[in-house]
């Protein structure tokens, strides 16, 4: 029998979504009781996983949450009800603030901005501070240029600090910073992304098998077939290994920035990518138990190298993103091409795009 445990996303400093039902979850068999702000709920778990629901709360805090896990009581502190955004997709949402062209004046302490990082499946090494600055160290003890995630899920929610926000998603940090200039609501960011990821990996294994949008592996984009990416790009890997670990944490919206991987192969066809993306939105909404959950789709930029290649793969993905935003309720397309460099697959200019995304989020 698994000892009853709380999911790592529930920790000190967390932001819970205001004005929506709150789902608390974990694993193990036993009796669980949760209490916060005078409201409580209990569940008796007889299996491996448990879930309980608390009613919607207004914006505010700080609160303490008392958690009784089959007699083991702990208190989580400095909790707020605010707005929580899931940052999902591939490398341009993963792209770190330190790599961007954002002026250092934007790096600051901000108690109202908080981050939870979902553990990645790709092992790019731990970060250590050397005389030459932060470096990555791999399992063999070799130092390399900074790569990978600075934080792990075991660290729970992190409050923004000037000296460490460089390790945050540039877009995520700048979106949060911009929203906090317009409102006093606390902002929570959930980092759930993987560079070079393909959309099929963000859905359950075999989910597309019987659909019109199934593409055999040998006909898919190059990133789906690249052996070094198999640890995260096999069907269902990122869904099971990353997304599922935070389901169904209540959200304000999802910011989805993905598609660059699909600019070659049969899954670069407009109707195929659009069909898969629509299925993903519907599936994630069901999994998060929020059928109207807003999705912000960032339209991939105009990368000249790919635009000049034979075929229309890059344009097909852009067109597919536009089509989904027009067809699916509560989806919003944000254009990036006119505010990003076109000579880089990873544009370093993120601030104008972050402001544009924040404009949409502000009005949800």
Residue ending a domain, choose from 62, 80, 98: 80
Q: What is the pLDDT of residue 129?
A: 76
Same structural domain, 292 and 195: yes
Residue ending a domain, choose from 60, 80, 100: 80
Enter the pTM of the model: 0.96
User: Residue 94 to residues 55, 82, 170, 259, 346: CA-CA distances in angstroms?
Assistant: 33, 23, 8, 13, 10
Same structural domain, 199 and 326: yes
Among the listed residues 16, 159, 161, 155, the one whose alpha carbon sits nearest the alpha carbon of residue 79 = 16
DSSP-derived pairing of the beta strands 187-193 and 253-257: unpaired
By the 8 A CB rule, do 259 and 300 touch? yes
C-alpha–C-alpha distance, residues 325 and 101, integer Å: 29
Q: Report residue 352 as tokens.
A: 């104008």
DSSP code per residue over 201-213? GGS-TTTTTTSTT
Same structural domain, 221 and 283: yes
Per-residue pLDDT tens listing for the chain (364 residues)? 578 999 999 999 999 999 999 999 999 999 999 999 999 999 999 988 999 999 999 999 999 999 999 999 999 999 999 999 999 999 999 999 999 999 999 999 999 999 999 999 987 677 877 777 777 787 777 877 767 788 899 999 999 999 999 999 999 999 999 999 999 999 999 999 999 999 999 999 999 999 999 999 999 999 999 999 999 999 999 999 999 999 999 999 999 999 999 999 999 999 999 999 999 999 999 999 999 999 999 999 999 888 877 678 999 999 999 999 999 999 999 999 999 999 999 999 999 999 999 999 999 9
CA angle (56, 111, 35) in 5-degree steps:
35
Q: What is the pLDDT of residue 104?
A: 95
Number of domains present in the structure of the chain: 2
Q: What is the pLDDT of residue 254?
A: 98
Same structural domain, 166 and 43: no
Same structural domain, 68 and 99: no
Q: What is the pLDDT of residue 310?
A: 64
Neighbours of 296 (CB within 10 A): 21
Same structural domain, 63 and 95: no
Same structural domain, 14 and 92: no
Same structural domain, 76 and 129: no
C-alpha–C-alpha distance, residues 303 and 301, integer Å: 6
Residue ending a domain, choose from 80, 114, 129: 80
Among the listed residues 196, 290, 268, the one whose alpha carbon sits nearest the alpha carbon of residue 237 = 196
What CATH number is given to the structural domain containing 148?
Answer: 3.40.50.1110
Same structural domain, 25 and 169: no
Same structural domain, 234 and 123: yes
Q: Report residue 200 as tokens.
A: 């099929």
Tens-digit pLDDT profile for residues 109-135: 999 999 999 999 987 677 877 777 777
Q: What is the pLDDT of residue 271?
A: 98
What CATH number is given to the structural domain containing 68?
Answer: 2.60.40.10
DSSP-derived pairing of the beta strands 253-257 and 30-36: unpaired
CA angle (296, 146, 231) in 5-degree steps:
65
Same structural domain, 191 and 236: yes
DSSP code per residue over 119-151? PPSS---EEEEETTEEEEE-TT--EESS-S-S-
Same structural domain, 72 and 97: no
C-alpha–C-alpha distance, residues 237 and 355, integer Å: 32
Boundaries of domain holding 235: 83-362
């Amino acid at each position: 029998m698994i000892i009853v445990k709380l999911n790592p996303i529930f920790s000190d400093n967390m932001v819970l979504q205001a004005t929506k039902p709150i789902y608390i979850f974990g694993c193990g068999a036993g009796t669980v009781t949760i209490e916060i702000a005078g409201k409580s709920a209990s569940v008796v778990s007889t299996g491996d996983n448990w879930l309980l629901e608390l009613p919607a709360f207004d914006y505010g805090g700080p609160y303490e949450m008392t958690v009784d896990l089959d007699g083991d009581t702990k208190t989580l502190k400095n909790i707020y009800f605010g707005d929580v955004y899931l940052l999902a997709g591939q490398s341009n949402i993963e792209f770190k603030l330190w790599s961007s062209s954002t002026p250092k004046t934007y790096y600051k302490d901000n108690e109202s901005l908080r981050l939870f990082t979902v553990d990645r499946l790709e092992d790019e090494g731990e970060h250590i501070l050397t005389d030459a600055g932060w470096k990555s160290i791999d399992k063999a003890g070799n130092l390399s240029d900074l790569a990978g995630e600075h934080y792990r899920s075991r660290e729970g929610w992190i409050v923004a600090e000037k000296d460490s926000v460089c390790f945050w998603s540039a877009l995520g940090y700048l979106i949060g910073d911009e929203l906090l200039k317009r409102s006093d609501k606390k902002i929570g960011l959930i980092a759930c992304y993987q560079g070079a990821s393909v959309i099929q990996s963000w859905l359950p294994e075999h989910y597309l098998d019987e659909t019109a949008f199934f593409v055999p592996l040998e006909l898919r984009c190059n990133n789906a077939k690249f052996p070094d990416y198999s640890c995260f790009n096999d069907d269902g890997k990122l869904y099971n290994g990353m997304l599922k670990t935070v389901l169904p944490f209540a959200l304000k919206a999802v910011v989805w920035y993905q598609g660059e991987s699909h600019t070659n192969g049969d899954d670069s066809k407009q109707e195929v990518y659009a069909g898969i993306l629509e299925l993903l939105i519907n599936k994630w909404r069901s999994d998060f138990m929020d059928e109207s959950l807003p999705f912000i789709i960032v339209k991939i930029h105009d990368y000249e190298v790919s635009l000049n290649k034979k075929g229309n793969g890059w344009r097909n993905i852009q067109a597919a993103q536009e089509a989904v935003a027009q067809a699916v309720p509560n989806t919003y397309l944000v254009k990036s091409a006119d505010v990003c460099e076109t000579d880089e697959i990873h544009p370093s200019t993120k601030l104008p795009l972050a402001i544009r995304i924040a404009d949409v989020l502000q009005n949800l």
